């Protein structure tokens, strides 16, 4: 394999390879809980040595990536069942392949990420009439104007918001509330303890640079409703609550501990004009 530096990714952007690899590993299992053939295809050709990741990333971490994907897929499918021609914005898309798993043939899909990530994405994933790429920071307000129908929008932030400082998360949520009132957001988030655990067990053990450390953690997601009027938490669950039923009892110990400590959780939030 070629050296990972050939990808020319920033330290945070390099973490996009982690869940991609995790979905490929899951797909190759005899009885996969998630099938992502596109991830397998990319892993086979991308110039990156996954040896360190493969050796050091725990099964619990891999399971969390799969649990997140399954949850987000279900929420998107439910949303587009109600609004078949909705717009879905995949913030911090990296090499995410959710579109390939949920596309109903009608949705408008926007993949948004920083220039280096989008440049890499173009090598493995193609745009189409209903699937477009936006190369910019999510804090660059210009991207909001590129949404054709702002009335039926779901914003997915998978593995994203904990890389921002709390003030940045507040600004982002306020911008979404301002420019896309009525939009739903789905995302994963960490508790403060979860940030510590992830930095040690995922970033460090995965061989990533410390500049990719997670920053924002929140123990009670309902606190965001106090940030601005119009922010409503519709749902929140520990990441393994629905996922652990797919495993035998003896394998659920780590899942139960993680959920009890609220290491990682999932949420669906709606924003309305204040």
Helices (H) and strands (E) in the chain, counts: 10, 7
| Burial status of residue 241 (CB atoms within 10 A of its CB: 0-12, 13-18, 19 or more) | middle
Query: Sign of torsion, CA 90 160 15 167?
Result: positive
Lowest pLDDT segment from 71-80, 120-129, 196-205: 196-205
Bridge-based pairing of strands 87-91 and 231-238 is unpaired
Q: Report the pLDDT averaged over residues 8-29.
A: 80
Q: Around 223, how many Cα atoms within 13 Å sit in the side-chain half-sphere?
A: 9
Question: Which H or E run includes 169?
Answer: helix 166-179
With 60 as the cut, is the pLDDT of residue 209 above it? no
Count up the domains in the chain and report the number.
Answer: 1
CATH number for the domain including 49?
Answer: 3.40.50.150
What pLDDT shows up at residue 59?
Answer: 85
* Structural domain containing residue 163: 4-271
Rounded Cα distance between 127 and 129, Å, is: 7
How sure is the predictor about 9, in pLDDT bands with cuts at 50, 70 and 90?
Answer: low
Instruction: Quote the CA–CA distance of 224 and 241 in Å, as a whole number.
Output: 22
> What is the pLDDT, as a whole number, of residue 251?
81
* Mean pLDDT of the chain, nearest integer: 88
Report pLDDT digits (tens) over 175-197: 999 999 999 999 999 999 888 87
């Amino acid at each position: 394999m070629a050296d990972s530096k050939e990808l020319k990714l920033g330290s945070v952007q390099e973490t996009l390879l982690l869940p991609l690899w995790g979905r490929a590993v899951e797909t190759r299992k005899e009885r996969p809980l998630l099938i992502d053939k596109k991830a397998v295809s990319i892993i086979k050709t991308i110039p990156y040595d996954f040896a360190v990741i493969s050796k050091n990333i725990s099964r619990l971490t891999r399971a969390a990536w799969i649990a997140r994907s399954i949850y987000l897929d279900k929420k998107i499918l439910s949303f587009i069942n109600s609004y078949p021609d909705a717009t879905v914005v995949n913030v911090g898309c990296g090499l995410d392949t959710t579109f390939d798993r949920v596309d109903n043939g009608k949705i408008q899909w926007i993949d948004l990420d920083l220039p280096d990530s989008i440049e890499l994405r173009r090598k493995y994933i193609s745009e189409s009439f209903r699937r477009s790429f936006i190369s910019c920071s999510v804090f660059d307000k210009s991207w909001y104007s590129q949404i054709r129908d702002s009335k039926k929008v779901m914003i997915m932030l998978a593995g994203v918001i904990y890389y921002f400082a709390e003030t940045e998360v507040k600004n982002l949520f306020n911008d979404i509330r301002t420019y896309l009132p009525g939009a739903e957001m789905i995302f994963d988030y960490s508790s403060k303890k979860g940030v510590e655990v992830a930095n040690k067990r995922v970033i460090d053990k995965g061989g990533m640079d410390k500049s990719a450390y997670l920053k924002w953690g929140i123990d009670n997601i309902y606190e965001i409703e106090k940030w601005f009027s119009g922010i409503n938490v519709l749902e929140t669950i520990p990441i393994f609550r629905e996922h652990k039923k797919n495993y035998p009892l003896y394998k659920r110990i780590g899942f139960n501990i993680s959920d009890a400590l609220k290491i990682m959780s999932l949420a669906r939030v709606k924003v309305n004009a204040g």
